[in-house]
Structure 1
Amino acid sequence: MFHKEGHKIIFLTFVFVVGCSLLVDNFIPITWLRTIVLIVLLAFLIIILQFFRNPKRHTVLNNKQVVSPVDGKVVVIEEVFEKEYFNDKRLQVSIFMSPINVHVTRYPISGNVIFSKYHPGKFLVAWHPKASEENERTTVVVENETYGKVLHRQIAGALAKRIVNYAKINDKVIQGGESGFIKFGSRVDLFLPLDTKIKVKLNQKVRGGESIIAEAND
């Protein structure tokens, strides 16, 4: 299954690859060179297809837990001052996505969307310290009575040139449901209450909608 955000790109890529393949057959007489070019074209198509794949995920709904919003690797776990929405200290968990990861963004908790904002910006590499403040990004806050408020921020990277955000204020959303999509590599930051129990470690690989990032402290 391919994500709807990729349908147009997949179609155009397919047309491009087929067109180039026909030209290769007609204008490159050297067999070994023609074979290499065709392999490169096929590889390019496969890369585009795998980037926009949208596998089913089985989210176990739990209002006391925060699930990973994306596939990737945990690169930051630290206490920070979040100044866009909370204006106080929070635990930040950042997940880096490579171009080969699934790029669907999912809601980390169920609840009501109480904040959703897009920020135009730069395209620094996703792990740059200033990326979360200067890059193109979207910020979404979801709240429920059990866990409280969770902020997740999509951040564009050096390759990501478009962020798609589906969250609208007053939407009632389900944990693991689609919140957006980031095209071609980036990262997502989570901002959680200081007393939350972090359930992941640095460099741990996580799966969007399934891996448990944090749990409410009873």
Structure 2
Amino acid sequence: MTLSRSQRRIVLWRHGRTEWNLAGRVQGQSDTQLDDVGREQARAAAARLAALEPDRIVSSDLVRAHDTARQLGEVTGREIELDPRLREMNFGEREGMTWREAWAAFPDGMRAWVEGDETQIPGSETHRQAGERFADALRDHLVKLPAGGTLVVVAHGAVLRTGVCSFLQIPETHWSSLGGLSNCSWSVLEENRSGDWSKWRLTEWNAGTLPEPVMSDEE
């Protein structure tokens, strides 16, 4: 879809790869760093996203997200704004563990987790809690975004997915319909053309190329 001059765009960008990503360890709010591949992913993706000429770049304050965002800031000359509300979902005492290690350490808690009760792992946050804080932050940052502007938000896989669903008011029973996000891929939200600027639509998900016009009978 080609944006009108007044429509705003949000680009939701996941950070580059870390060693914990590669090892299958839950990161959550543990402050891990990009590995060499992740830094190269960030540089390559930043070169593409710079073509969108973002008006603002807002990032989680965790290092892996901030360092990813900094690559785009260097290309565009934009300052990076940090917001701790964009941090990854808190996985509590599971953080640093692989899936197998978590099941060995918390068999009852992990069983409850997969059955829908996310409160049984000590210190953990629920998907709903993470999604709501992310969506609240997004709404706050949109207040400062001018008509026709582009906001790039750099964050983390789980909180991006839950945050998008919460922001779009998708029923929680359907949140699992959106797949996971690859390292340094992005998703795009655009305002509807209807004139109701409180309404947004998801136009790209887990993309690695810039948004293309949608040629459809629907438009």
TM-score by length of 1: 0.26
Structure exhibiting the larger radius of gyration computed from Cα positions: 1
More helix by share: 2
